[in-house]
Structure 1
Amino acid sequence: MEIETLEEFDDHLASDGPLRGLRLQDLDLTGYADRLAARGDLTGLVVLGGKVPLPVAEVLLRGGAIQFPGVADAPVDPWRGLYLPSDLYAGLQDGYAATPDAEAYAWFIDARLRTDAYCTLVRAIHDDSVTDDLDEFVQGRSVVGIMGGHALQRNSRSYAGAAGLGHSLAEEGYLVATGGGPGAMEAANLGALCRSAAAVEEAVARIAPVPSFRPDVTAWAAGALAARTAVVGDEPDAPIDTLGPTARSLGIPTWFYGHEPPNVFCDVIAKYFSNAIREEGLLARSNAGIVVLDGAAGTVQEIFQAVTPLFYAVDDAPLPPLILVGREHWTERVPVWAAVTAMAAGRPMEEAIHLVDTIDDVLPLLPALTA
């Protein structure tokens, strides 16, 4: 049983329930030494990170608990889980290189640390914490994944179209999930975040003067943060654990592609060090379907990762649709459609794959939401 707030822990202590099997995650246990000592045997209690003063640590050790201490000398808190855009872009006024996002990428690619056992453990704990929070965040939601290239320019018609698609899906009640990066991913997240078509149009126009994150991530992100404030206001961010049922926009990026900065138009960001875990997590959580816009190598990889579970599906349950948008792109410029249809022939996935001309053809192919 995971306990992630002091309120939960207090309730459990008051109920006199057993401590064996509890996982206390990232809690401030200041002042809990006497209450824990009174319980005697603490075998099987696991304390993950958080603030553990010396008197509490001594009680845990004597009682037989297992304590994983907080991590020093790393630019991330491995126990924290999901991020808000403001978390990753704190300090942007001093340039992108000063932000936690950039610092985490620099730490990740440091050749001296890539195979360091301590750093590997930190990254693994971090990504597991993200997955844990992400599972809770999307629980009960119908998620549509939108895939597409990072190079799409903000001042293009295709960008505006992707933003319109994200908005339409969110208005229908879907949670829109993307790879969380620039380009088509940013556009879909932006559209989903906006509460009206007029707000989408205004936000796109606001950020269009800086069409790409190259060569200046600072200007690209600063303009986007200003546009985000215009959309959602400048009130303090709501706690992440309250957002799940009402969230419209989710980004799942990776520091593996750290040269592509995360976009800020997500309600929350699940950022990973492991791209393999991130890719699988994004696709597996797109339980209402996957929409693929124009893209290149990374997008092609996502298509075939999405095809694999469809290919091996054997039961009679309806499969989530895989929708490729842009007939010319996917049959001529990047001709993967022929391979997809060849694998689907005679299998249940044949009914789940679709090639359409425009984003206007997407919504009718998605499963209807229940009230």
Structure 2
Amino acid sequence: MGDLEPGGLGRYMEHKSMVTAMDKFVMSDINTGPFELCKFMHMAPLIQSERRIVDEAFQAYAAIALFYQTEEFLASEHGLPFRSSLLFDQEERAKRTPDRRSHVSNPYMPAELWTDRDELLRRNQRSKLDPVYDIYPIEWRKRIRTVVMTLYKAGIIQSAYTPQVKGVATAAAEPNRALDFYLDFRAQSRPKFKAVLADPTPLNRDYIVKAANKFAAQHGSARFSALRLWSAPHFYPMQASGNETFADDRGRYWAWRYMPKDSPLSEWNTHKIVSDMMEQYRRIWGNQVRVARDLILVMGKDADECRRLSEGVTWATQTRRVYEMDFWRSFVNVDAGFLERLHPVWLS
């Protein structure tokens, strides 16, 4: 899958197994919930053209049910293998922030991130796109090759046959983190901000908390879900444009099949794609669903409404697409105070 976050693949597979088990648990008794979700999301016209629609509704229902029918599920034979899973203890899980590099794209990266590379290029009289096979430190090369080979084996990148690339791979360390893989696309001209794109930078932790607190002040029983679209530390699951080519430390050329987070305006494009997905269903949830890049804030007047809206958002995100929710980085059916206590990294 190309997910280099420590333990990321194991958590992903565990959650897939949980959803399958919860689906079996739900269907072990008479339960109209998944069909009510179909009605809520007006799926009838779609069912005739896409047979997977109903299956995806059941999966979305089960994914959210994990946070609503937790005790019954874990007490059953279906939930037995997952009784010690941290997914269900959201308070404890919130204390363990993800070990992931920044999602920020090149134009917004702090200049300090590039200091070592720029100094190395200056000393060796190289430009930003010149070969670096003979000047990169061995520690950088080890990190770059680990990531490149993982991404290649997962089918995330492929060999590029082009006379020129747009960027060069490097390794750098953000504050309090070890060396990680980055792409220097700064040799490109600064991208023009298209009118169709909105800057998601202001939609940060403070924006999410303010929106939740305002809604909670109006609705005394309000409950919230902060649902995060799955992405790997180095790329989003959206299709690449074809311009995100790069050279590694050995001078080999690579092309991305999915959108690298270092690509200029990657967060802008992601925000646009997710916003467009949610906008299709605005007639259903109005302003009770907000988008902030790849994070979706669901605001329910009570727990039941939060559940139905969360199911709908999960289905709308996952149906007929390659996108999935990352419930290990999401929080479901919580109050506004819980969101306010979260470390900012969870809502950034």
Query: Normalising by the residue count of structure 1, what TM-score does the alignment of the two structures yield?
Result: 0.20
Query: Normalising by the residue count of structure 2, what TM-score does the alignment of the two structures yield?
Result: 0.21
Query: Which is strand-richer, 1 or 2?
Result: 2
Task: Report 1 or 2 for greater relative contact order, CA contacts < 8 Å, sequence distance ≥ 6.
Answer: 2
